[in-house]
Amino acid sequence: MSVPEFFTPAWAEDVRAALDQGPGEDVRAAKLPAYWDWIAGVRAAYASSWALGVRDLPGAGPSYLRLGWKDGTCSEAAIIGPGDPLEATYVLAADLSTWRGLLGGQDPGRIVMYRGLRLQEGDVVRFFRGIYFFVESVAVIGRVPARLP
């Protein structure tokens, strides 16, 4: 099976499927069950959407991976290109170098704390009510294979 290119519809679909499945047992085993229970509680009621952008995709300009959540599942994953209308509860963006780091195994929580990934639109305080769900979802995205430019 060929590895899809980064920020293409095929990669977005792989991301959606991986998020739907959630982290594997090896990842879950490294943290307390109470932590995953907290995340499961947030996920079950989560109805917000995220747009995760890459600011400097060569030849494309700023593009976004839009992810929608409904009834505990990742119900939508789409690539929004430059100039296309973008609507999401929370819009975040990072440079390609940050995405490279994430796909190379860097800690997503640290990427947030060091502002590699910045919130561009959306209520900060409300966004953080689901922060561990978000961070573990970004970690899942980082484990989805992609051919980087």
Partner 1 sequence: MPEMSPEKVTAVEESALDRIHDIDIDDVIDYVHKDLKRLPGYLDLYRRYLRQRWDVYDIDFTRDAHDWTERMTGEERDAFVAISSGFHHGERQVEVELPVFMLGGSEESRIYMSSQIEDEARHTVFFDRFYREVVGLPGESVQEVLDASFEHVSETFVGPFGLLAYQADELRADPDDIAARVRYGTTYFLWIEGVLALSVMKITLSYCRNRGLLPGYYAGFTATCRDEARHVQFGMRFLRDAVQEDPRLLTEIHETLRTILAINQATSRRVMLEALGWSAEEVRRLMIRQLTMKLTDVGIGLPPDLRKLIGGIQPELAGG
From CA 60, how far away is CA 57, in angstroms rounded? 5
Decide if residue 146 touches partner 1 (CB under 8 A).
Answer: no
Token pair belonging to 114: 């060091």
Give the 3-state secondary structure of residue 9: helix
Question: Look-up: residue for tokens 């899942």?
Answer: 140
Q: The tokens of 147 are what? A: 């051919």
Tell me how far, at minimum, the Cβ of 136 lies from partner 1, in Å.
Answer: 8
Q: Quick check: 113 binds partner 1 (CB under 8 A)? A: yes
CB 70 to partner 1: min, Å? 21
What phi-psi label fits residue 83: left (phi over 0), alpha (psi between -120 and 50 degrees) or beta?
Answer: left
The span of 50-58, 71-79, 97-105, 109-117 binding partner 1 (CB under 8 A) equals 109-117
Q: Write out the residues near partner 1 by the rule CB under 8 A.
A: 31-32, 34-35, 38-39, 107, 109-110, 112-115, 118-119, 124-129, 131-132, 135
